[in-house]
Structure 1
Amino acid sequence: MDHFETSRLTAERLREDHLGDLVALHLDAEVSRYLGGVRSAAVTETYLVTNMAHWDRHGFGLWALRTKDGAFAGRAGIRHIAVDGVDEIEIAYTFKRALWGQGLASEIATALTDIGLSELTLASLIGLVFVEHAASRRVLEKANYLLEKTTMHHGEAVVIYRIRRQIP
């Protein structure tokens, strides 16, 4: 699924030509404070290459997000991540600061959850959030994820939320 839409966003599979938008997003200190810190252009380029390879390997990954008028809004996706030595599949979302507080994270979290559980038929999805990131925790709670545990990830205290596919 290279492309999808929500009521206010369009999502397109991450490509090389998204690098400039991603660099600008990752250089914003407020945006990056819950991503492990500001990322240089070189680090973002490696991030982009890694995430494009994820698509090739797994058939899903990160999408660049645009508002309906075509402006870059952020990035979001479904990807493999190692947590406490276990291969998990997480939903992830990051928006430009100018778009915070508009419900876009909840909108994309709901769409990603539906894609992951219904279309990809994954058994479960997680959300990994810095303990103090209250807004992102609320997004996952509104999307019916349940708090599973607190752990350390890359030296940071995080919480893991999980949602499981309902098997009829």
Structure 2
Amino acid sequence: MEHFSTGRLTAERLHEAHLADLVALHRDADVSRYLGGVRTPEVTKTYLATNMAHWDQHGFGLWTLRTQDGAFAGRAGIRHILVDDVDEIEIAYAFKREFWGLGFASEIASALTDFGLSHLELPSLIGIVYTGNGASRRVLEKSSYLLERSTIRHGEDVVIYRKRR
């Protein structure tokens, strides 16, 4: 599914034309504080290539998100990720600051969860959240993810939430 829509967002499969939007998103310190820190344009270019390759390998991945008026809002997706040496499939999302607190994260988390568990028939999905990121924790809890455990990722304390089919 290269395109889909929610009530207020349209999603498009990640491709090269999205680089400038991603660079701007990843350079925002507030947005990036729970994504491992601000990323240089070069790191974001590698990130883009890695995530486009994920699509080619798995048939799903990250989408860019736009509002109904066409404004770039952020990115979100479903992807394989190695957590404590276990291949997991996570939902992930990041929004520009101007879209925080408006329910967009809950909207996209619900859509990604439905797509992953129903359409892709994955056995489960996880969400990885920095321990201090209360907003993202609430988003996952609203989507019926259950707190599974704590771990350390890239030197930071995180919690793993899981939802099973």
Mapped partners of 2:154, 2:145: distance in 1? 22
CA shift for structure 1 position 58: 0.2
TM-score normalized by structure 1?
0.98
Which 4+ runs in 1 deviate beyond 3 A?
none
Tell me what 2:5 maps to.
Answer: 5
CA shift for structure 1 position 154: 1.2
The residue type equivalent to 1:129 in the other structure is V
**3-state SS in 2 of match to 1:111:** helix
**3-state SS in 2 of match to 1:107:** helix
Is 1:128 matched up with 2:128?
A: yes
Q: Which runs of structure 2 are paired with 1:8-157 in the superposition (5 Å)?
A: 8-157=8-157
CA shift for structure 1 position 29: 0.2
For residues 96-140 of structure 1, give each alpha carbon's deviation from its aligned partner in whole angstroms, at most 9, with x where no partner exists: 000100000000000000000000000000000000000000000
Mapped partners of 2:13, 2:62: distance in 1? 6
Mapped partners of 1:150, 1:143: distance in 2? 19
CA shift for structure 1 position 156: 0.9
Mapped partners of 2:66, 2:55: distance in 1? 19
**3-state SS in 1 of match to 2:69:** coil
Mapped partners of 1:108, 1:33: distance in 2? 20
Mapped partners of 1:81, 1:153: distance in 2? 12
Mapped partners of 2:147, 2:91: distance in 1? 14
Is 1:162 matched up with 2:159?
A: no
Mapped partners of 2:21, 2:126: distance in 1? 26
In structure 1, runs of 5+ residues without a counterpart are: none
Mapped partners of 2:54, 2:152: distance in 1? 24
**3-state SS in 2 of match to 1:109:** helix
In structure 2, runs of 5+ residues without a counterpart are: none
CA RMSD between the two structures? 0.3
Q: Alignment length, in residue pairs?
A: 165
Mapped partners of 2:113, 2:90: distance in 1? 9
The residue type equivalent to 1:27 in the other structure is R
**3-state SS in 1 of match to 2:121:** coil
CA shift for structure 1 position 155: 1.0
TM-score normalized by structure 2?
1.00
For residues 51-73 of structure 1, give each alpha carbon's deviation from its aligned partner in whole angstroms, at most 9, with x where no partner exists: 00000000000000000111100
Mapped partners of 1:77, 1:68: distance in 2? 19
